[in-house]
Amino acid sequence: MAAGITFSQDLYWWWDGHDWRPTLGTPARRSRPPRDWRRYVPGFRTGSLWRMCVASLGYLGFTAAGVVAVVALDPLRFVSDLATVWLILVCANVGDLQRRGGWRERWGFLALGLFLLGLLLSLPADIVGLLDACSSAPDLCRLATLDPLDLYLRLLPYLLVLVPLYLAPAIVAVLRDPRDVWLAVAIDLTLGLTALGWAVALVLALGPRPNPQPVPMSEDRGWWWDGSTWISAELTAPPTARRSPDDTGWWDGVGWRPLSGRGLDEPGRSEGKPDAGTSPASPAEAR
């Protein structure tokens, strides 16, 4: 993937500072991502109605949980909820952190560390809640007094079924590598115990894979960006372009173009070539 370029989440579009433009392999009828404020908000950037609805529910749910924690004067629970939100937002590529480089080493580990810290801080409250539940389910709590090995053998049949089922969306996401692989894993690990969180993670895990050929192209697909300048599609094809079986043409996402025998030093057309100042947006332009 070309460095320093702002791509859409599915890698089928690139941002030129004003609008989304196609990349190599973008189908003719594929919808463009939103150009307004939605392109900054995780869950809204694709313009998909179901994703925006689920994201809205998530934002409202976490906001309500934070308000309840503040009203109850429970700072530990508030920090735990905040860490969970941060982990999900980082995996959803908030602020385009993943494109800025080193996100796995920096932002990803920071988000995971905050999440684990939130779990540790909320552990006392969870233990108190578990002890309160013992008054209504004494038989369940008596299991804790058993020998550890006996307890393990009693729970093993249930764990063999429930743990793989709980982690199924994360496992599927890692194996399939869809465009939202890390978001699916984060939602499954943090919200998988809820039916809605598990279902959303599974849908994301079964989602489409990103475009494997994200080479920026001009609007008419007559020019492509090689990382430093615009190259005419009449002169040469992008190196990653799919070739025809007889090796006489290449696919630009809409139709087959003939492979030209002319070299890069030969004159070609200039119609449709982006302006000299038009290049894939820098990180500053993309924000």
Q: In what order do the strands lie in the sheet with 242-243?
A: 242-243, 249-251, 256-258
Q: Please tell me the predicted confidence (pLDDT) of residue 204.
A: 93
More confident residue, 218 or 284: 218
Per-range mean pLDDT, top range of 2-16, 122-136, 208-222: 208-222
> Read out DSSP for 32-53?
PPP-SGGGGSTTTTT--HHHHH
Q: Which residues contact 194 (CB under 8 A, 6 or more apart)?
A: none
Output the average pLDDT for the chain: 78
The SS3 assignment for 16 reads: coil
Tell me the C-alpha distance between 104 and 184, whole Å: 16
Query: What are the structure tokens assigned to 278, written together?
Result: 């038009």
More confident residue, 145 or 84: 84
Instruction: Write phi, then psi, for 93 (nearest 5 degrees).
Output: 65, 45
Q: Please tell me the predicted confidence (pLDDT) of residue 282.
A: 38
Q: What percent of the chain has pLDDT over 70?
A: 70
Tell me the C-alpha distance between 56 and 64, whole Å: 12
**What does the pLDDT average to over 123-138?**
65
More confident residue, 145 or 75: 75
Identity of the residue numbered 76: L
Span 68-80, pLDDT tens digits? 888 988 777 787 7
Query: What are the structure tokens assigned to 74, written together?
Result: 């429970």
If residue 25 lies in a helix (H) or strand (E), which one and from where to where?
none
Span 198-243, pLDDT tens digits? 999 999 999 998 888 889 999 888 899 988 888 888 888 888 888 8
Instruction: Write phi, then psi, for 257 (nearest 5 degrees).
Output: -110, 140
Instruction: Report the length, in residues, of the chain.
Output: 287
Q: Please tell me the predicted confidence (pLDDT) of residue 18.
A: 86
pLDDT at 140 over 80: no
Reported pTM: 0.74
Q: Which residues contact 132 (CB under 8 A, 6 or more apart)?
A: none
Q: Please tell me the predicted confidence (pLDDT) of residue 258.
A: 86
The answer to whether 13 and 7 are in contact (CB under 8 A) is yes
Nearest to 40, CA basis, from 93, 119, 118: 93
Q: What percent of the chain has pLDDT over 90?
A: 15
Residue in this structure with the two tokens 């007094």, named with its chain if needed: 145
> H helices within the chain, ranges in order?
49-71, 75-91, 109-134, 138-141, 148-176, 181-191, 195-205, 283-286
Q: Where are the domains of the chain?
A: 1-26+230-287, 39-205
Span 230-279, pLDDT tens digits? 888 888 888 888 888 888 888 888 888 887 654 444 444 555 566 545 55
pLDDT at 281 over 80: no
